[in-house]
Every structure is written in structure tokens, then in C-alpha cells.
Amino acid sequence: MVIKVFLASSSGSTAIKKKQQDVLGFLEALKIEYAQLDIASNEENRMWMRENVPGDKKPSNGIPLPPQIFNENNYCGDYDTFFDAKEDNSVYEFLGLTPPPGFKKMPYAEEEDQVKKVKQNMNRREKRLRTEDGTLRIRTIKIFSFTDIDSHPP
């Protein structure tokens, strides 16, 4: 199975370019095989993409913007659904792929517990930095350059 990413090589939109780069970079990082299909220079690609994005997934003007992601002929989603899957650590499911051996998806409850622990630790650190009157304490650290060290023997 090959993941197909429909993109526009000559888009004037910075937002679209960033979204396309995000998708491709993430797929490369996970070593997922994919094909880039340009809709700007290939009319067949543009028409295929437009015809195969489900009607309920198209924007109100009816023309889906890149990037659009497919697993062979099965529609996976657009950038927003890809981003949600990435955030939920469910990209393999989003793409309709079997995760590689050793891939461990953290259960949602476990993930929430970790977020709570991080927030609690941040609150504790902040409390330690507050003085009795409630203002934050600031520490200053002097940084020496090599010339300072050389000119001032111990």
C-alpha cells in the first residue's frame, strides 16, 4: 500500500506550503512510504483528487485544498485530520496502516495522567520561586568569558 499525498508544488499560500511540508516531513520521520502527486502541474491528479475527496469532507466551495491524503484509493483526510491524528498518536490508524513492531500507543487515560503530572510539577516549581509576598524571585547568574578567567587568577 502506498500513501498518496496530493500537494501543490507552486502554491502561493505559505500556509498550504507549511502544511504540505509538515505532512511530508512527518511521513519521512516515520519512514512511511509515500508518493507526492502534484495538482498544480498535473490536471489528472487535480481532477482525481477533487473527485475522490468525499462530499462531506469538501469545504463549502466544493474544492478541497492540498494536502489531501489517500491510502491507495481510500481517502484518509486533509491536513486538519492528519494533525489531529498526529496529536493523538494515531497516525498509523489514520493512514490505514499497521504500526511497526514495537510501536506503543499510549492509552488516552495514561496520556492525561502524564499531562496532569507535568502541570503539577510546574505549579510546584513556581511556588518555590515565589517569595512570601507572592512575587516571583529572579536569580541572576554571572557568565564569565575566557578573558575574565585569564585576567583574574584564582
Q: What is the CATH number of the domain that holds 69?
A: 3.40.30.10
Q: Are residues 36 and 69 in the same domain?
A: yes
Joined together, the cell numbers standing for residue 14 give: 505559505
Q: Are residues 80 and 121 in the same domain?
A: no
pTM of the model: 0.67
Q: Are residues 11 and 77 in the same domain?
A: yes
Residue 87 lies in a domain: yes
Quote the pLDDT of residue 11. Answer: 85
> Which residues, given as ranges, of the chain have pLDDT below 50?
148-149
Report how far residue 45's alpha carbon sits from residue 37's, in angstroms, rounded to the nearest whole number. 6
Note down the domain range covering 112. 108-151
Residue 102 lies in a domain: no
Quote the pLDDT of residue 133. Answer: 65
Query: Which of 95, 122, 138 finishes a domain?
Result: 95
Number of independent structural domains in the chain? 2
Q: Are residues 15 and 67 in the same domain?
A: yes
**Omega of the bond prior to 153 within 30 degrees of 0, cis?**
no
Quote the pLDDT of residue 62. Answer: 87
Quote the pLDDT of residue 92. Answer: 95
Q: Are residues 19 and 88 in the same domain?
A: yes
Quote the pLDDT of residue 110. Answer: 56
Q: Are residues 63 and 138 in the same domain?
A: no
Residue 27 lies in a domain: yes
Helix 14-29 and helix 79-87: axis angle, to 10°? 40
* Nearest to 2, CA basis, from 38, 35, 49: 35
Report how far residue 64's alpha carbon sits from residue 73's, in angstroms, rounded to the nearest whole number. 16
Quote the pLDDT of residue 130. Answer: 57
